[in-house]
Structure 1
Amino acid sequence: MMASIGQQGTKPEMIVRRLCHSLGYRYRLHVKTLPGSPDLVFPRCKKIIFVHGCFWHRHENCSRTTTPKTRAAFWEKKFADNVRRDEQQISQLGALGWQVLIVWECETKEQISLKEKLIRFLAGK
């Protein structure tokens, strides 16, 4: 069942994409040549946005960050590997001169504050 969960074009990602587009920003999607194949890449301003699911990427203090009761050890290792991989990718992108923003799935529920966050990140120098 988990294999059927899409990695691209998710509802939270589409919300972020629509907001960025409405703000006048154009971007590339899932650039495979960059570490982590970022969700949105803004080559002109050298900025990247990852849209992370709270469950899979372990958003701290979020109600969506639950752990299944069955096979808990498996899930803990899987989640730890995800978090470690995310940290490595962000570090690699920083070393390449990219600025990175993580947008959490739960943040897409409040679009006004998300829009302000995107404006601050994309317009900032």
Structure 2
Amino acid sequence: MDTLSARDRSRRMALVRAKDSKPELVVRRLVHRLGYRYRLHRRDLPGTPDLVFPAREKVIFVHGCFWHRHAGCGLARLPKSRLDFWLPKLEGNARRDARNVRALRKLGWRVMIIWECQVRDLERLESRVRRFLDA
């Protein structure tokens, strides 16, 4: 049984960061250390990408595995309670992400998604980011 009131649940959800999350900060530090310069959260682009490389026409999203439904990832498991609330919310997030990626590609942007769980292996992540940005 869920003992939190709707107000308490709302307050907890407000603590979830849309910008400057720990995984995003790790990616930003990595990209900067590699010598790439970027813009943050351009609101004029679909989905407000986390990192934007205007001259390269490339963007990077750093997605939380739970919030964005990373397929096959243990961090993306569904909660045990209130599925009637969580399932439509999380599936809606995934649909919106797909729409934003399509819209960006239609505008000529190349898109990379970095999942929260991928931030743990910095060596592999560095290799992926270099390949994406240098291509």
Which category describes the TM-score, using the shorter chain as reference length?
over 0.9
Query: Match of 1:18?
Result: 29
Shift in Å, 1:66: 1.3
Shift in Å, 1:11: 0.6
Runs of 4+ in structure 1 off by over 3 angstroms are none
Unmatched segments (≥5 aa) in structure 1: none
Shift in Å, 1:20: 0.7
The count of aligned residue pairs is 124
Q: Structure 1: how far apart are the matches of 2:14 and 2:124? A: 32
Unmatched segments (≥5 aa) in structure 2: 1-11
Shift in Å, 1:101: 0.2
Query: Match of 2:43?
Result: 32
Alignment of 1:41-60 (within 5 A): 41-60=52-71
Q: Does 1:81 align with 2:88?
A: no
Output the aligned Cα RMSD. Answer: 0.6
| Matched position secondary structure for 1:78 | helix
Larger Rg, first or second structure (1 or 2): 2
Deviations 1:31-50 (A, max 9, x none): 00000110000001000000
- Identity across the alignment (%): 51
Structure richer in helix, relative to its length: 2
Shift in Å, 1:120: 0.5
